Amino acid sequence: MHFERIAFEGKENVFLDCYVINSGLKLGQDMARPAVVICPGGGYVYLSPREAEPVALAYAAKGIHAFVLNYSVGWEAAGFQPLKEMDWAIEVIRERAAEWNVDVNKILTCGFSAGGHLALASGLLGEEKPNGVILGYPATDLSGGGDLMTMLLVGKNAPTDEMPKWLNLNKQVTKDAPPLFMFTTGEDAMTRKMTLDLAMSYEEQGLLYEYHIFQKGPHGYSLANAACADGSSQVMNSHVEKWFDLSVEWIFQVFGELEFKDVSTSHIMEAIQKLGIPIPGQVGKEADNA
C-alpha cells in the first residue's frame, strides 16, 4: 500500500490522507478500482479518530482505495468551508486517478454523524460530486436551530433569518442524487428520524438506495469492532459490525465487480533467474534449443 498526505493550501490542519493499493505484488493492483473518501464525525468540533484510519484500512483490505479527509472544524468551518475542502479532495483524486489506478466513475464519499452530513452534502450540492454516498448514522437535518453544529457552520455573525439550504439536506434530494447506502440503529435517537426522512426522500424520487436500521447500538460506533473501540466495549457489536461488509457488497453490486485475469501472478522463477540459479528442467530445454 502507498500512503501519502496531501495538504490543503493555506490550512495546515486540513489534509487528505491517501491509502492507495499499490503493494507491488502484481495481484491486479494496476486495475482501476473504486475509491472511498472518508469523513470522520465529531460534530464539526473535532474529528473522531475511530471513524478515520480504521475505516480506511478496512476498505483497503477489501480492494478499495481509501482516503480520509481531515476537514475544517470549530469556527474554521463557518460558511460550510468543509464542503469546499471536499470538492478539493475529490478533484485531487480525479486528477491523479491514472497514477493511483482509481476508476473516476466509482468515487464515493463515506461519512459518519457530522461527517455524514458533509458526505451527503457533497453528493447533493458539491461542485465535484461523488458517484455514490455511504452514510453512517448521519446528521442530515441541522435546521432545528440552536444546535452547536448549526452555529459553527453558519458562523458567529451570520444572519439567522435565512438559513442555507445545506442545513437540511433531506429537502435537497433531487433525481440527480447519487446512489445511497445508509445505516443507523434504533437506539440512536440523534439520527434515527433523520435517516428515515432521508430514505423517504430517496424513495419519493425513485432513486437507488439501501437502508439498514439495526436494533441496538449507540451513536458513534464506527466499525463496531475492536479496531476502533478506543478501549470501550460499548461501541462493539458483532451484529452492527455487519454494516461494513454489506457496504462493500453494495459498492460492487452497484458499480461492478473487480475483474481479475485467470493467470498466474507468481514471479518466483524470475527472482531465481536473477540470482543466477539454474531452474530445474530449464537446463535441458536450453540444451535442446541449442
What pLDDT, in 10s, does the model give residues 178-193?
A: 999 999 999 998 899 9
The cell numbers describing 120, all together, are 451527503
pTM attached to this predicted model = 0.88
Given a cut of 90, whether residue 160 has pLDDT beyond it is no
Given a cut of 90, whether residue 273 has pLDDT beyond it is no
Residue 287: the pLDDT is 47
**Residue 252 Cα to chain centre, angstroms:** 14
Residue 198: the pLDDT is 97
The cell numbers describing 222, all together, are 464506527
Which structural domains are found in the chain, ordered by start?
2-264 (3.40.50.1820)
Residue 272: the pLDDT is 81
Pairing of strands 11-20, 65-70: antiparallel
Residue 143: the pLDDT is 82
Query: Average per-residue pLDDT in the chain?
Result: 88
| Candidate from 8-22, 88-102, 207-221, 254-268 with smallest mean pLDDT | 254-268
Q: Quick check: 187 and 180 in contact, CB under 8 A?
A: no
> Which of 29-43, 87-101, 263-277 holds the top average pLDDT?
87-101
Among 216, 217, 203, 143, CA closest to 173: 203
Given a cut of 50, whether residue 242 has pLDDT beyond it is yes
